[in-house]
Amino acid sequence: MSSKILIIGACGQIGSELTYKLREIHGNDNVIASDISYTNLEIVNSGIFEIVDAQDYSSIHICVEKHKIDTIYLMAAMLSATGEKYPMKAWDLNMSSLFNVLNLAKAKFISKVFWPSSIAVFGPTTPKEQTSQHTIMEPTTVYGITKQVGERWCEYYFDKYGVDVRSIRYPGIVSWKTMPGGGTTDYAVEIYHKAITDGKYESFLSEDTELPMMFMDDAITATIQIMDAPANQLSIRSSYNLAAMSFTPKDIAGEIQKHIRDFIITYNPDFRQQIADSWPKSIDDSYARKDWNWNHQFDLEKMTNEMILQLKKKYAPAEN
Ligand code: SER
């Protein structure tokens, strides 16, 4: 029997690509995409799509029953920058959606859960270089607080109720299909779009702000790998550190200039600088590499080649 999958937040940056990939693997009919509204028409029109409100237990439950769902990927969340503008909304959305899904698993309506955490669980007191799995965690953003608390609850539900929940602390994710929204690492996506369309970009982070990042293809591979891993190989039931590369706005601009020689970057840090400054520069992900054979494929150079190639196609004037 093939297991049926529900993706909540399928219109978003990661949710959309996860939907495409999981459909490739499990077949269109076994992967149900859902979101709070029809914000991504490509996803809405690409297979079965349901309107689901992640904050409403029965909204998810009805969808689970209707489609006989076995596994949920909960990709709906308010990210770091937007969360600072709407702290209570971020808290409510990020926590209630997680409890709804964990409680569905506790009640045995579903048997497996993926929930993303983030480098935002770390804070200014965390060691910044090669940040280890178990370290000081005093996040200063509402988003980071929800991720840290969420991790504790995931582990709790695993320990006390046997809920099979699996999680990764994503670094900033760079991709070309769906724009990210409301994150501090979003500059690393916007910069490529602006390089192609305008030949210049004003960064909201300073030139030497180094952050852990990852290309989307690697993020999707990792997500599928951890979900496919035998349960007894997973030694971490809070959330796994995950890494691929680290770079600054200056590094990425230099890499873009290898393709677009006249590309100009300027710097005008805003409130997101403080958020970025509170996060690690690089991550030690040896548990993921050891427990479920994680291995990244993309570095800054390879990612830039792919981003420029794909975005040039995307913005090319249609030929008549
Ligand atoms: N990419 C996220 C953000 O910037 C971090 O997980 O908020």
Residue 46 is predicted with a pLDDT of 93
CA-closest residue to ligand 1 atom 3: 183
Report, as an integer, the average pLDDT of 31-40: 97
> Tell me: the pLDDT tens digits for 1-22?
568 999 999 999 999 999 999 9
Residues composing the chain: 320
Ligand 1 contact via 248 beta carbon (within 6 Å):
no
| Ligand 1 centroid – CA 240 distance (Å) | 16
Residue bearing tokens 């290309």 = 215
Report, as an integer, the average pLDDT of 227-251: 98
User: Which residue in the list 38, 73, 86, 143 is annotated as catalytic?
Assistant: 143
| Ligand 1 centroid – CA 29 distance (Å) | 31
Eight-class DSSP state of 262? T
* pTM of the model as a whole: 0.97
Eight-class DSSP state of 200? E
How does strand 165-166 pair with strand 112-114? parallel
Residue bearing tokens 């005008």 = 268
The answer to whether 71 and 7 are in contact (CB under 8 A) is: no
| Ligand 1 centroid – CA 182 distance (Å) | 8
Verify whether residue 86 is a known catalytic residue.
no
Residue 320 is predicted with a pLDDT of 52
CA-closest residue to ligand 1 atom 6: 118
Residue 218 is predicted with a pLDDT of 98
Residue 168 has pLDDT above 60, yes or no: yes
pLDDT over 90 for what percent of the chain?
98
Burial of 198 (0-12, 13-18, 19+ CB in 10 A): exposed
Please give the order of strands across the beta sheet that includes 211-215: 172-174, 211-215, 245-247
> Tell me: the pLDDT tens digits for 181-213?
999 999 999 999 999 999 999 999 999 999 999
Q: What are phi and psi of 73, to 5 degrees?
A: -105, 115
Ligand 1 contact via 287 beta carbon (within 6 Å):
no
Contacts of 8 (CB under 8 A, 6+ apart): 15, 34, 35, 52, 54, 60, 72, 73, 74, 75, 76, 97, 101
Closest atom, ligand 1, to C-alpha of 81: 7
> Tell me: the pLDDT tens digits for 39-54?
999 999 999 999 999 9
Report, as an integer, the average pLDDT of 214-242: 98
Q: Where do runs of H (alpha helix) occur along the chain?
A: 13-26, 41-44, 57-67, 80-85, 87-106, 142-161, 187-197, 216-228, 249-257, 272-277, 286-292, 300-315
Domains of the chain in start order, with CATH, are: 5-122+144-168 (3.40.50.720), 123-143+169-320 (3.40.50.720)
Ligand 1 contact via 304 beta carbon (within 6 Å):
no
Q: What are phi and psi of 215, to 5 degrees?
A: -75, 145
Residue 216 is encoded by which pair of tokens?
Answer: 């989307």
Residue 170 has pLDDT above 80, yes or no: yes
> Tell me: the pLDDT tens digits for 96-150?
999 999 999 999 999 999 999 999 999 999 999 999 999 999 999 999 999 999 9
CA-closest residue to ligand 1 atom 1: 172
| Ligand 1 centroid – CA 299 distance (Å) | 19
Residue 317 is predicted with a pLDDT of 79
Residue 3 is predicted with a pLDDT of 83
Ligand 1 contact via 204 beta carbon (within 6 Å):
no
Nearest to 190 by CA among 207, 174, 214, 206: 174
The answer to whether 23 and 50 are in contact (CB under 8 A) is: no
